[in-house]
């Protein structure tokens, strides 16, 4: 059978499966498209397909009705005569990012500002699927998701987490304090009925982790956690599906860690822990054996490094004037922050993630934009560069940010790699990504469900508005 016939057979099979049809876009959303035809051929591209396979040069990808119909060497893939052909010699095509620690509010500043426009920024940077990791404004997020699903707002496909869930705390705050297993079930069921598909735990204690995991899993939903009072090993054993942040938040490395107590000044103690020691390797083995994935968020911690934190005026220009002043103030006073991340700690975080992957762990990535000038979309691109700095190869870093994320979300049948039958979620980059990690920022077109969005149009729309309703 010729390759295109095999691809056709695959696409027929997949179209009969449960994959949903793509949304019909509103006229306003269509205004952001650069490519708006149901049959498209991307020819002569370098493909990094998200599976971890090496880059392949001179490939052709056929997109039809929102799906990838076929991909292969340009000489062997038949281009249908009615296709819109984009000759993309000199470009790299990767799957759209599947990002696992996203927010549609900007926190860590004076007030949680809603960011409807973050959906556009994420998409413009190549994020085609996003999970929010804890909501301060859950109804705002659910409404953004509904608008995106309806085609009336450009954005990634979204998984929305319910509000932050935690144990008893002395201070009031934008989180739900869980008091019992029955309470956890009530809260989880409420937010599951409202549309949440993930739950986010902050810190612990163990009773809260167990209760939330049990209630969420009973609904077929998943749990992610920024742990502290509970260690990663224990969290994995309790069934947490995705542990956020990696080495820096694994309190089992803090000397004298007491059960159900979050040790103070984690980051200083962590900076003195060598991840290559047998004890740390053994903890990684136990986390992997427990089946928990880990979400890398190197960029958001780099934003707390006195030597490395950067502020990008092109990104700040996206914010409303009020938010921009707040972010600039946060950045200017970083040296007085209680949360400085020493550079050697960032290095240890990178080492730990390499060891986790080498031990067979499933590593995804997310940005965690947090009011430091580290922005939605831009932050995801920065994570790619930091994964390369950590020593991952280009195909592995792409895999972490795409198909691994899709596996963690349970979306791998639909997206996360460039394979026939999957959604046409693709990022077209100018240049050779394998040769230069900075090419991750040269986004020319972002396809989501086969609609080709123009990143410049999306960013122009956002400018000056991020942080307003
Ligand atoms: Zn976060």
pLDDT of residue 270 exceeding 70, the answer is yes
| Ramachandran assignment for 455, one of left (phi > 0), alpha (psi -120 to 50 degrees), beta (any other) | alpha
pLDDT confidence of 3, banded at 50, 70, 90?
Answer: very low
**Among 45-59, 94-108, 215-229, where is mean pLDDT lowest?**
94-108
pLDDT confidence of 14, banded at 50, 70, 90?
Answer: very low
Give the model confidence (pLDDT) of 154-168 as tens digits.
Answer: 999 999 999 999 999
pLDDT confidence of 112, banded at 50, 70, 90?
Answer: confident
Give the model confidence (pLDDT) of 201-221 as tens digits.
Answer: 999 999 999 999 999 999 999
pLDDT for the residue 1: 36
pLDDT confidence of 468, banded at 50, 70, 90?
Answer: confident
Give the integer Cα–Cα distance in Å for 227 and 288: 16
pLDDT of residue 451 exceeding 80, the answer is yes
Could you give the angle at the alpha carbon of 230 between the alpha carbons of 228 and 234, nearest 5°? Answer: 140
**Among 143-152, 318-327, 433-442, where is mean pLDDT lowest?**
318-327
Q: Give the Å distance between the CA of 432 and the centre of ligand 1.
A: 31
Give the integer Cα–Cα distance in Å for 464 and 321: 7
* Chain mean pLDDT for the chain: 93
CB proximity list for 151: less than 8 A, separation 6 or greater: 23, 24, 25, 26, 29
Q: Give the Å distance between the CA of 225 and the centre of ligand 1.
A: 10
Contact 307, 301 (CB under 8 A): no
Could you give the 3-state DSSP secondary structure of residue 263?
coil
pLDDT for the residue 173: 85
Q: Give the Å distance between the CA of 56 and the centre of ligand 1.
A: 35
- Assess whether the previous peptide bond of 205 is cis (omega < 30° from 0): yes
Q: What is the mean pLDDT of residues 441-465?
A: 97
Q: Give the Å distance between the CA of 230 and the centre of ligand 1.
A: 18
Q: C-alpha distances in angstroms, 435 versus 91, 267, 378, 398?
A: 12, 34, 20, 14
Q: Give the Å distance between the CA of 107 and the centre of ligand 1.
A: 8
Q: What is the mean pLDDT of residues 390-410?
A: 98
Give the integer Cα–Cα distance in Å for 50 and 401: 8
Q: Give the Å distance between the CA of 200 and the centre of ligand 1.
A: 9
Q: Give the Å distance between the CA of 440 and the centre of ligand 1.
A: 23
Q: What is the mean pLDDT of residues 400-409?
A: 98
Q: Give the Å distance between the CA of 101 and the centre of ligand 1.
A: 6
Q: What is the mean pLDDT of residues 369-396?
A: 94
pLDDT confidence of 60, banded at 50, 70, 90?
Answer: very high
Q: What is the mean pLDDT of residues 313-318?
A: 94
pLDDT confidence of 17, banded at 50, 70, 90?
Answer: very low
pLDDT for the residue 7: 41
Q: Give the Å distance between the CA of 370 and the centre of ligand 1.
A: 7
Q: Give the Å distance between the CA of 133 and the centre of ligand 1.
A: 6
Q: Give the Å distance between the CA of 66 and the centre of ligand 1.
A: 31
pLDDT of residue 306 exceeding 60, the answer is yes
**Among 109-113, 139-143, 250-254, 369-373, where is mean pLDDT lowest?**
109-113
Q: In 3D, which of 422, 451, 415, 448 has the Cα closest to residue 15?
A: 422
pLDDT for the residue 448: 98
Q: What is the mean pLDDT of residues 237-250?
A: 97
């Amino acid at each position: 059978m010729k390759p295109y016939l095999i691809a056709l057979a695959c696409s027929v099979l997949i179209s009969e499966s449960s994959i949903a049809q793509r949304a019909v876009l509103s006229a306003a959303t269509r205004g952001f498209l650069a490519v708006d035809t149901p049959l498209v051929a991307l020819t002569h591209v370098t493909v990094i397909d998200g599976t971890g396979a090496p880059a392949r040069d001179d490939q052709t990808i056929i997109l039809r009705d929102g799906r990838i119909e076929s991909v292969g060497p340009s000489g062997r893939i038949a281009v249908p005569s009615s296709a819109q052909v984009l000759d993309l010699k000199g470009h790299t095509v990767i799957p759209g990012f599947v990002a696992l620690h996203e927010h549609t509010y900007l926190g860590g500043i004076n007030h949680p500002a809603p960011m409807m426009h973050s959906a556009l920024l994420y998409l413009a940077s190549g994020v085609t699927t996003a999970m929010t990791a804890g909501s301060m404004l859950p109804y705002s997020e659910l409404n953004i998701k509904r608008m995106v699903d309806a085609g009336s707002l450009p954005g990634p496909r979204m998984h929305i987490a319910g509000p932050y869930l935690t144990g008893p705390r002395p201070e009031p705050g934008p989180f739900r304090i869980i008091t019992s297993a029955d309470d956890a079930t009530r809260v989880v069921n409420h937010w599951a009925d409202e549309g949440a598909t993930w739950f986010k735990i902050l810190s612990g204690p163990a009773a809260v982790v167990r209760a939330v995991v049990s209630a969420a899993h009973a609904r077929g939903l998943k749990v992610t956690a920024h742990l502290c009072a509970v260690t990663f090993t224990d969290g994995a054993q309790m069934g947490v599906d995705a542990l956020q942040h990696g080495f820096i938040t694994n309190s089992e490395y803090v000397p004298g860690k007491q059960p159900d107590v979050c040790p103070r000044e984690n980051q200083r103690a962590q900076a003195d822990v060598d991840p290559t020691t047998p004890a740390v390797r053994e903890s990684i083995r136990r986390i992997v054996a427990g089946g928990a994935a880990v979400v890398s968020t190197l960029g958001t911690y780099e934003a707390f490094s006195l030597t490395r934190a950067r502020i990008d005026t092109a990104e700040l220009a996206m914010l409303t004037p009020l938010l921009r002043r707040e972010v600039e103030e946060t950045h200017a006073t970083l040296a007085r922050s209680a949360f400085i991340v020493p550079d050697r700690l960032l290095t240890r975080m990178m080492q730990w993630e390499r060891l986790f992957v080498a031990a067979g762990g499933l590593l995804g990535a997310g940005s965690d934009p947090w009011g430091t000038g580290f922005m939605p979309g831009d932050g995801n691109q920065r994570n790619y560069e930091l994964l390369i700095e950590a020593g991952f190869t280009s195909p592995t870093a792409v895999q972490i940010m795409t198909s691994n994320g899709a596996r963690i979300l349970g979306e791998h049948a639909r997206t996360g790699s460039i394979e026939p039958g999957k959604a046409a979620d693709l990022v077209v980059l100018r240049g050779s990504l394998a040769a230069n990690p900075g090419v991750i920022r040269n986004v020319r077109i972002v396809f989501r469900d086969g609609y080709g969005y123009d990143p410049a149009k999306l960013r122009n729309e956002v400018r000056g508005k991020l942080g307003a309703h």
